Amino acid sequence: MKHLWLLLLLVGTFAIAMTDTKDDLVKLDHEWGVANLKADKAALEKIYADDLISVFAEGIGGKAEMFEGLEPAADTNYETSDYKVMMLGDDTAVMAHNGGTGDAAYRSLHVWAKRGGQWTVVATANIPASN
């Protein structure tokens, strides 16, 4: 019986830690979105992995392409919904969510990796949402 309680305690602690990690990643995604709208290159440098793979309407690129044409937006309100986060281990996660509104609505898919104790985006793809 003692071992059962210990097992339940460990499983519960692991589940709480995973929930905290998912919440942290959603928060990081929001920070990324706001930094992008503000064209905050210093913040984005920390979020994007050096070997980032990005897929967007213009093609496939990397970190450098994510900065091309980066300009501050008039509206820095970053709206997202329907987050789904799947942990693939302690240091890798896949995230999907909806973003934007109206004609600017889109869907995103990101792969996050924890490197050197910091979560970074290693792959990202965005597609327009059909309304």
Tell me the one-letter amino acid at 100: G
| Count of domains forming the chain | 1
Q: Residue 80: which domain range?
A: 2-128
The Cα 129–Cα 107 span in angstroms is 6
Please tell me the pTM assigned to this model.
0.81
Q: Which of 9-18, 29-38, 40-49, 98-107 has the lowest average pLDDT?
A: 9-18
Higher-pLDDT residue of 86 and 99 is 86
Using CB atoms within 10 A of its CB, is residue 64 exposed (0-12), middle (13-18) or buried (19+)?
exposed
Q: Is pLDDT at 1 greater than 90 in this prediction? A: no
Residue 36 belongs to domain with CATH number = 3.10.450.50
DSSP string, 44-68: HHHHEEEEEEEEETTEEE-HHHHHT
Put residue 36 in one of left, alpha, beta given phi > 0 → left and psi -120 to 50 → alpha: alpha
User: Tens of pLDDT along 36-69?
Assistant: 999 999 999 999 999 999 998 888 999 999 999 8
